[in-house]
Structure 1
Amino acid sequence: MDAKRVEAKWQKKWEETGLYRFNKEDADNKLYCLEMFSYPSGAKLHVGHWYNYGPTDSWARFKRMQGYNVFHPMGFDAFGLPAENYAIKTGVHPQDSTFKNIETMERQLKAMGATFDWDYEIKTCMPDYYKWTQWIFLKLYEAGLAYRKEAPVNWCPSCNTVLANEQVVDGACERCHSIVERRNLTQWFFKITQYADELLNDLDKLDWPEKTKMMQRNWIGRSVGGEVTFALDGRKDGFTVFTTRADTLYGCTYVVLAPEHPLVDEITTPENRAAVEEYQKMCARMGEIDRLSTTREKTGVFTGAYAVNPINGRKVPIWVADYVLYSYGTGAVMAVPAHDERDFAFATKYDLPIERVIKSADGGEDALPFCEDGVLVNSDKRDGLTGAQAREAILNELKEQGKGGFKVNYRLRDWLVSRQRYWGAPIPMIHCEHCGTVPVPESELPVQLPYDVNFTPDGSSPLASHEGFMNTTCPKCGRPARRDPDTLDTFVCSSWYFLRYPNAHDGSEAFNKEWTNKLLPVDKYVGGAEHACMHLLYARFFTKALRDLGYLSFDEPFKSLVHQGIILGPDGMRMSKSRGNVISPDGFVEQYGSDVFRMYLMFGFAYTEGGPWNDNGIKSVARFLDRVERLVERAIALRGQKGRSDEEVEYVRHRTIQAVTNDTEKFQFNTAIARMMELVNALYKYEGEGNVDGTYLEAVVRDLMLMMAPFAPHFIEELWEKMGYPYSVFNQKWPEFDESKLTRSHVELALQINGKVRGRITLPSDATQEQAKAAALADEKIAAMLEGKEIKKVVVVPGRLVNIVAK
C-alpha cells in the first residue's frame, strides 16, 4: 500500500467531512481527552512528541468507537524562556520564531492523522488568550491570592536575569556557567499555600500514578509539630523555629539562622562580622538545591550572639549555616545534635555540645545520633515521658507562657510568578506614586506585549526600558503612572489552558461557567512525569481557587492521569543535541508512513516505561500490516464461498477482542498489538488449511480491522473502503466478545520426549492428566520412538503439553 497517497487521501477526507469535530449537541456523552500541549521551542516534532500524541490519539479513537463523544483539542504553550534565549542568540524575534515553529508543528500534527479538533486551537502568546490569563491574575489579586513582596532569588550576573532553582547547577548558571548570586527582588506571588491541606487531601480521590501523588505529598510536605520562640540574650526580641520534635528541646545546644535572615546583620558581634559577611557572600553564590543536598558537607560560622532556650533558660550560641534557607519555614532551626543526623555532623565538625535527652523505650543506650521516638532523660521534670507525651506537655507549657505552641507547617512555598524577561504575559498592574499598586481595569485588558522591545538582558526587565509601554495613567487618580515591567511565569499560562479549550474563541469571557462545568474535568490527561510538582500542582491550585471564586463547580482538573515513558537514545541516555543521540521521526514516517511509525512506538515499548531507541522492529511492523492487507484481499476473493468455520479461530477471535479492549483501556498498547498478531496468525492457519467459509472469514477479518483501526487509522480506513463498507470505520461500534466462546471444547497438546517436541494430539479440554498421559503413550508416532526405552516419568502440563522422560 502506498502509505503517502493513502494518508493524504484520508486526512483530506476526514477534514472535509469534519469527522472528528466535537458534537456540542451530545455534551452529556462527552469524553475529554487531553495531552499536555507542546512548547514550540524547536522547529519540528521529535520522537517524544510522537510518543505522547500518537498512542493517546489511538486511545481517543478507541473510546470514540466505544460510543463516546470525544473532545480532543490541541494548542501551543507558546510563551517562555527558550524562545527568548534563541532570540538573544540569533536576533530572531521570539514572536517570529514561535509562530514559524507553530506553523511547522501544526503541519506535522495533522500529518500524524490525529483526531484533534483544530476548531478549538489555542496559542498562549496570542492576546485573545493572555487577556484571560491577566484576568485570572486580577481575580486572584482581588481575592488576596496574588500579592507582592521582596524575596531572595537566583541571579546570573552574566545573563542578567533571575534563574529558577532548576536552572542552577553546582552553584552556576546552566546556560553560561557563571557563578549565581542571591539577590532580594520585589516579586509577585500566588498564595498556593492557602490550599496546602486541600491539595494534599484530594490526592486520595484521583486516578493518578501513585508515584506522582507521592511526589506531590512530599512537595507539599505537611508536618505536624510546634513553634518555639527563642529570646535573644541581652535583647527584648527573639525568633521562632518550627519543630516536629519538641520533646528534644532540652537537648538543644545551639541554634542556626539562614545567612539571609535579617537578624544576622543585627546580632553579629564586631569580632565575628568579617567572617559572617564572607560566609554570606559565599552562600549567595549557591542555589537552593545545592544548599539542601543531603550529600554535601554542611558549613557554618558563629555570629558571636546567644539565644535563650525557653524551656530551661539555657544560653545557646547562634550560628549561621547554608543548610537553613530563609524562604523555608521561619529561616531558623533549633539544633539537637544527639537526636538529628544533620545536627550531629555539624556539631561534631565544630566541636559543639552533644547531649542525650532521649533513650530507646526498652532502656537501651543506643549510639548517637538516636533519631527515633523514645523516653526522655536529662530533661528535668519531663524524664520518663514518652516522646508523644513530652511533645504535648512542652508545647502546652510554651503556649501558656506565650513562647510557642502547636503548629502545622508545610514544605510548600507560595508560587513566585513574576519574571524579569520579555516573552511572557505582562502583569496587569500599575504603580502610582499617589495610589500605590493598582490593578488594570478589566475593560482595558489585554495589556498587550509590545513587539519593538530590546529583549537582550541588561539587569532589568526588558519592558522597563520601553517608555511607550511603561507610561500610562493611574486608573484611580488619573495621574501619570508606570506599568509593572515584569511578565508572568509561563506556568501561569498552562495552569488553566484546559479550561479555555471548550471556549477557545469566546471574546466575552475566559470560560462559560455552565459549558465548562459540563465538559470538565478532563477525563484522561497524558504527559510527562517531570511536571508532577509544578504544572500538575499549579493546575490543581487554579482549579480550586476558581471554584472558590464561583467560576467552577468541580474540585480537580484531571480525573485520570497517565505518564508516558521516555524514549532514550540508542545509547540508553536521554536524547540531547549535545550527545548527538536525537532521533527524528521524519525519516521513518517518510519511508514507512505514519501508521507504521505509530504502531512501532506502541508495540516496541511499554507505554509508561519507554526505553532505548532501536529501529530493528519497525520492519516487522510494516510486514505485519502487509499480512493484514493480504488477508483482507483474500477475504474479498473468498466472498460467497461455502466451507467450515473454525473453533480455534473463534476462540482466538473472542479472546483477542477481550484482551485488546482491556489492554487499550489501560494504555498497554504493546500487549494489545501482540494479541492482534496472534489472531492474524490463527486466520492464516485457518485459510491455509482449505475449506474456508468466506462469510465467516470476512466476519472475523472485519472484527480485526475494527480493533486495528485506532492503531493504524489511515491503513484500516483504506482497507475498510476496499471491503465496500460505509464511511467511516471510526463511525463503527467497537466489537464485543462472547463470554461463551472463551473456552475451547478441545485443546491441542504438544507431545515431548525428553523436552523435545515429537508430535501433537487433540483432546477434550476437560481431559484429566491421566487421560492426557494415556493418550500420549498411545500415539503411534510416540510409541514407535519409545520402543526399547525405559519410561522414567511422564509430566503433564494441563492444556499445553505432555513430556515423557525416557532412557
Structure 2
Amino acid sequence: GLSLDWQREIATCHPGYYVHQQRLFLDFLEAGLAYRKESWVNWDPVDNTVLANEQVIEGRGWRSGAVIEKRLLSQWFFRITEYAEDLLQALDGLERWPDKVRLMQSNWIGRSTGARMFFPLIGEENDSGEPRDEPMAPLEVYTTRPDTLFGASFCALSPNHPLSAEVAKNNPAVAAFVEHCNLIGTGEEAIEKAEKIGIDTGLRASHPFIEGQELPVYVANFVLMDYGTGAIFGCPAHDQRDLEFARKYDLAVIPVVCPADSNAEEFEIGTEAYTDDGKLINSDFLDGLGVEDATSRVIERLEAAGLGEATINYRLRDWGISRQRYWGCPIPVVHCSDCGVVAVPKEELPVRLPDDVTFEAPGNPLDNHAAWRDVACPACGAPARRDTDTMDTFVDSSWYFARFCSPRADEPVSADDVNAWLPVDQYIGGVEHAVLHLLYSRFFMRAMKRCGYVTIEEPFAGLFTQGMVCHETYQNADGNWLYPEEVKEDGTGGMVTLADNFPVTIGRSVSMSKSKRNVVDPEEIIESYGADTARLFMLSDSPPERDLEWSDTGIKGAWRYLGSLWRMVMEFTESSAAKNIERTSDEVGNAASDSALRTIHQTIEGVTLDLEKFHFNRAVARIRQLTNALAELHSNRHASAEVYLQGLKIVLRLLAPMTPHICTELWQHIEPNNSIVNMAWPTADPKYLQEDNIVLPVQVNGKKRATITLPSGHDNAAAEKAALADEGVQRAIAGKAVRKVIVVPGKIVNVVL
C-alpha cells in the first residue's frame, strides 16, 4: 500500500544531515538572520530547557506538561520578524491551503496598526526619598486604540519591563511581585485566564493631553513584555482586562466611546467593557467623532507635540532556537574571552555530538562534558568553550523537504534539483503545526533564498490537514486510565472493568494517546479484520479533515462489505457466466445493462473528482453504491455478463488505492496474467455521464411554480414550450401576457410577465 524511493532516505539526527544545517546557520549568521541576545525565555523545569512561545500551551510545556517559568538567559534567535509583513501578505497566494490554517498564521503574525506614545514620568525621588541621579526617561506605550486616550486611568508595565526592574531595586514589594510573576506560566492563554493583579510602583505618568492629570503606574501580570513596548495605558471602559484590573484597585472607569444612537450623559459601563464602534464622548476635541476619525486626530496631535507617532506592530516574535539539551544539532560557534563569538570554520564541520555523555547530573549534559566543551579559539588559539546549546529540533524539520531533492549533494541543496522539485505539490500534516513547523518552513525558504540556495519562497503549494483518530476514555475508581480491552459493557449502557466488574467512568472521545490509554492496537485489528478493513473504515467514516471516531461497529461494517465483494468476485469467476447469466437482446436486458453502464461511468467520474478533493468518504460511498447496483444487476437473469464483469473490474480498480491487498488478490482471479498495480486509472465515457432525462424548475416572476422533465440534450425551444404548457405555470400566468422566457440550459426556466 506504500511506495517509497529509499535512495532519498535521510535522517535529521545524522551528521551527514546536520553538517549542512550547521552551514545554513553560519550563512544565516553572516546574513544577519541569526543573532544572540539576553532575553526572558520560557523555561521548562522538567525538561530543563527553553521553549519557544509556540511550544507553550496554556502555560505548560508542549512535551512535558510542566508549568513554565520565566528566566533571563542568553539565547540564539532567528530573525523571522524581518519577514513578518511578507509572510502575512503571501498567505493570500496560498490558495490550496485550508482557510483555517491561513487564518491561524495571520493571527499568529498579528499585524496591528496603532500608535507609539510617550508619557512623561513623575517621581524624581527614589524609594529612599533621595534625589535620582538622572531624570527618568518617558514611558513609551504602544496601543491599538489611541482614540481612547482620554479614558486612561492608569499605566501598567510588564513584570519584565526594564523600569519594573529599576523600581524593584529599591522597592521590596515590587521585587517580590515581579518574582512571583516570573514563577507562573508565560503562555498568553494562561495569563488571559488568570486573575488580573498588579502593584503600584509609586510612579506617576503625565497624561499627554490633559494638563495636570497624573496616572498611577503599576506593574501588572497581564502585560506582556514581548508585545508592543511592554507597557500600556489602561482604559477600563473599553478593554475587559483593564476593567477587571480597575475594579479590583478602585481606579476610575471613564467611558469615551458609546453607541452612535445612545445618550452620552446616560451611558455607563457595568461588568463588561464596551468594545464596539461608536462616537467619542468625554474626549475634548474628539467629541462626536467616529472611532476611525478620532484615531487619526489623536495621532496628528501626538506627532505635532513630539509625543508619539503612528506605527505598525506585529505579534510575531523572533524564533528562539537555543535548547539546553543533548539531543539536537550543535550550534557551530565557540566563545572566546578575547574574540567573543567565533564561528567554527566550515571546513571543520560538522561539530558532532559526543557519544560518551552521561545523563546523571541535571541540566544540559554538554555543559558537563569538558573534553567536548573546551576547545581552542579558531581565531586566536586561546582557550575557549563551545556553545553547549543545541538547536530547536523544529529547525531540522524546517528544510528537510529541500534536502530530499538532492540528499547526497555536497552543499545543503543542489540549486538545479531544488528548483526543479520545489515547491512541494501536496503536503499533508496536522493542523497543530500551523504556527510551528509550517510557519518556520516558510521563513526558512526565504532565508535560504537570501543566502542564494533557492529561488522560491513558499515551500508547500498545497496543504491538507487531516483529522485525528479519537476514542472514548475509561478510568477506574482510582482515576487510573484503562485500555479499551480492559473494559466491557455492563448491559445497562455503562462499562465495568473486565477483570473484576468494578464500575468504569466513561470520558468524552478525544485524540488517541498513550497517556490516556484510549488506543487501539493496530496489530489486533489487522489480526482480526485485516489491514484493508482498517484502511477502508478510516477513509469511509468521515471527511479526512475531521476527527475520526473509532468504533467497532464501523470496523465490522467495513469488514462485511469487503467480504461481500470477495464473494461476488469469487462466485462469478468460479461459475460459468454463460450458464448463470443469460445474455439476451430484449428490452429488459438492454435497459438493465445500460443503466448499469451509466452507474459504472458516473462512479468513475465521481470517485476521480472526490479523490482530487480529498473527499475519500464520498469516494468510498460511491464505490459501495456501485457494488450494490452490480449485485442488483447480477440478480437480473437477462443482464449482460460483460457489463457485470466490467463493473467488478472497475470496483477493484477504484478501490485498489484504499484496500490494495484484497483488490490485488481478487484481480488475479479475474486477470491472472496482469497485476492491478499495472492498470491505468479508469476514465469515464462521456456518453454514459448524462441521464436520459433532466428535471428543471420553472419560475414565474422569480417564484418557483413548477418542475418539468425533459430528455437530456433538449434545446431551449423545447424547454420553453414545456414550461408554458405546464398547468402550474398556466395558473400563475392567469391569462397575462408573457414578456419573455429565459432558459438557462440544464439549470432553470424563468417566465417573465
Same fold (TM over 0.5): yes
CA displacement at 1:268 relative to structure 2: 5.5
Closer, same or farther: CA 701–200 of 1 in aligned 2, 3 Å: same
Measured on the aligned residues, the alpha-carbon RMSD in Å equals 3.0
Q: Which deviations, in whole Å up to 9, do the C-alpha atoms of 1:652-677 show, x marking residues without a partner?
A: 11121121111111222122112111
**Given the superposition, is the C-alpha separation of residues 139 and 512 from structure 1 closer, same or farther in structure 2, using an over 3 Å criterion?**
same
Structure-1 residue corresponding to 2:442:
540
Given the alignment of the two structures, is residue 214 of structure 1 paired with residue 154 of structure 2, yes or no?
no
Q: Which has the higher helix share?
A: 1
How far is the alpha carbon of 1:377 from its aligned partner? 3.3
1:422 — aligned with what? 326
Residue of 268, 273, 284 corresponding to 1:367? 268
Match of 1:499 in 2: 402
The question of whether the paired residues in 1 share the 8 Å contact of 2:185 and 2:191 is answered with no
Question: Quick check: 1:142 aligned with 2:142?
Answer: no
Q: For residues 700-738 of structure 1, what are the alpha-carbon distances to aligned partners after superposition, in whole Å with 9 as ceiling and x for unaligned?
A: 322222211111122222333333366542332211222
Alignment of 1:596-611 (within 5 A): 596-611=533-548
For residues 620 and 504 of structure 1, the distance between their equivalents in structure 2, rounded to whole angstroms, comes to 44
- After superposition, residues 6-17 of structure 1 pair within 5 angstroms as none
Q: C-alpha offsets along residues 146-191 of structure 1, whole Å, 9 cap, x if unaligned?
A: 1111111233556544355577677677888876532101011111
After superposition, the Cα gap between the structure-2 partners of 1:445 and 1:371, relative to the gap in structure 1 and judged at 3 Å, is same
Kept after mapping to 2: 8 A contact 1:304/1:317: yes
Q: Distance in 2 between matches of 1:697 and 1:384?
A: 78
Correspondence for 2:379 among 463, 476, 488? 476
Instruction: Say whether 1:732 aligns with 2:683.
Output: no
Which protein, 1 or 2, shows the higher relative CO under an 8 Å CA cutoff with sep ≥ 6? 1
Report the counterpart of residue 216 of structure 2 in structure 1: 317
Compared CA separation, residues 164 and 683, structure 1 to 2 (3 A): same
Match of 1:153 in 2: 41
1:523 alignment partner, SS class: coil
CA gap 1:678/1:431 in 2 versus in 1, 3 angstroms:
same
When normalised by structure 2's length, the TM-score is 0.79
Letter in 2 for 1:602: L
- Judged with a 3 Å threshold, the aligned counterparts in structure 2 of structure 1 residues 639 and 475 are, in CA distance, closer, same or farther, namely farther
Tell me, yes or no, if the aligned pair for 2:596 and 2:643 is still in contact at 8 Å: no
Give the counterpart of 1:289 among 174, 177, 187: 187
How far residue 442 of structure 1 moved from its aligned partner, in angstroms, is: 1.7
1:44 is aligned to none
- Deviation of 1:602 (Å): 1.0
Tell me the alpha carbon deviations over residues 236-257 of structure 1, each in whole angstroms, 9 at most, x when there is no partner.
4123111111122222221000
Task: Find the aligned partners of 1:289 and 1:764 in 2 and give their Cα distance.
Answer: 64
Aligned match for 1:223, one of 109, 112, 116: 112
SS in 1 for 2:187: helix
Q: Which whole-Å CA distance do the structure 1 matches of 2:278 and 2:711 have between them? A: 66
**Aligned equivalent of 1:202:** 90
Q: Which residue of 1 aligns with 2:566?
A: 629
Spell out the pairing of 1:504-515 with structure 2 (5 A cutoff).
504-506=407-409, 508-515=410-417
Equivalent position of 2:13 in the other structure? 125
Aligned match for 1:439, one of 312, 336, 343: 343
Distance 1:448 1:177, change over 3 A: closer
| 1:686 pairs with 2:640 | no
Distance across 1 between alignment mates of 2:70 and 2:556: 54
**Deviation digits for residues 350-386 of structure 1 (CA, Å, limit 9, x no counterpart):** 0112223334333533332333333333333343433
Q: How does 1:257-268 map to 2 (within 5 A)?
A: 257-267=157-167
Q: Indicate conservation of the 8 Å contact 1:268/1:305, yes or no.
A: no
Segment of structure 1 superposing worse, 305-314 or 376-385: 376-385
Q: Aligned partner of 2:140: which letter?
A: T
1:138 partner amino acid: L
Alpha-carbon distance in structure 1 between the residues aligned to 2:79 and 2:118: 25
| Counterpart for residue 504 of structure 2 | none
**Structure 1 unaligned regions, length at least 5:** 1-112, 748-762, 770-807
Structure 2 residue aligned with 1:376: 280
- Residue equivalent to 1:552: 454
SS of residue paired to 2:653: helix
Number of residue pairs aligned between Structure 1 and Structure 2? 641
Asked if the contact 2:48/2:324 (under 8 Å) is kept, the reply is no
Which residue is 2:367 aligned to? Answer: 464
CA distance in 2, matches of 1:310, 1:187: 37
8 Å contact 2:525–2:534 — kept in the other structure? yes
Find the counterpart in structure 2 of residue 303 from structure 1. 201
SS in 2 for 1:242: strand
Asked if 2 retains the 8 angstrom alpha-carbon contact of 1:517 and 1:554, the reply is yes
Calculate the TM-score normalised by the size of structure 1: 0.74
Question: Alpha-carbon deviation of 1:280?
Answer: 1.1
Q: State the shift of 1:764 in Å.
A: 9.2
Q: Does 1:330 align with 2:214?
A: no
| 2:175 maps to 1:277 | yes
Write out aligned runs for 1:517-536 (5 A).
517-536=419-438
8 Å Cα contact 1:187/1:418 also seen in 2:
yes
- The 1:202/1:728 distance shift into structure 2, 3 A limit, reads farther
The counterpart of 1:574, out of the listed 511, 529, 532, is 511
- Deviation, 1:562, is 1.1
Structure 1 residue aligned with 2:143 = 243
Q: Tell me how far 1:650 sits from its aligned partner.
A: 1.0
- Report the CA distance between 1:407 and its aligned residue: 0.5
Shift, 1:215, TM fit: 1.0
**Pairing partner for 1:643 from 580, 583, 586:** 583
CA contact (8 A) 1:639 1:698 kept: no
Report the identity percentage: 43
**More displaced, 429-438 or 185-194?**
429-438
Q: Distance in 2 between matches of 1:119 and 1:176?
A: 35
Q: Which moved more, 1:588-597 or 1:652-661?
A: 588-597
Question: Which residue identity does 2:99 align to in structure 1?
Answer: E
> Is 1:345 matched up with 2:278?
no
Q: Does the 8 Å contact 1:251/1:355 carry over to 2?
A: yes
What is the one-letter code of the residue matched to 2:233? M
Which residue number in structure 1 is paired with residue 520 of structure 2?
583
Is 2:87 the partner of 1:189?
no
Residue 700 to residue 739, structure 1, CA distance change in 2 (3 Å): same
Once the two structures are TM-superposed, the CA of residue 283 in structure 1 deviates from its matched residue by: 0.6
**1:41-56 mapped onto 2 (5 Å cutoff):** none
Task: Name the SS for the 1:558 alignment partner.
Answer: coil
Alignment-derived partner of residue 563 in structure 1:
465
Unaligned runs of 5+ in 2: 125-134, 474-508, 585-589, 695-709, 724-753
Q: Distance in 1 between the 2:380 and 2:185 partners?
A: 42
| Amino acid corresponding to residue 176 of structure 2 in structure 1 | E
Deviation string 1:379-408 (CA, Å, 9 cap, x unpaired) is 333434333223223223323443220100
- Conserved? CA contact 1:421–1:455, under 8 Å: no
Q: Secondary structure at the match of 2:462?
A: strand
Q: Distance in 1 between matches of 2:412 and 2:454?
A: 12
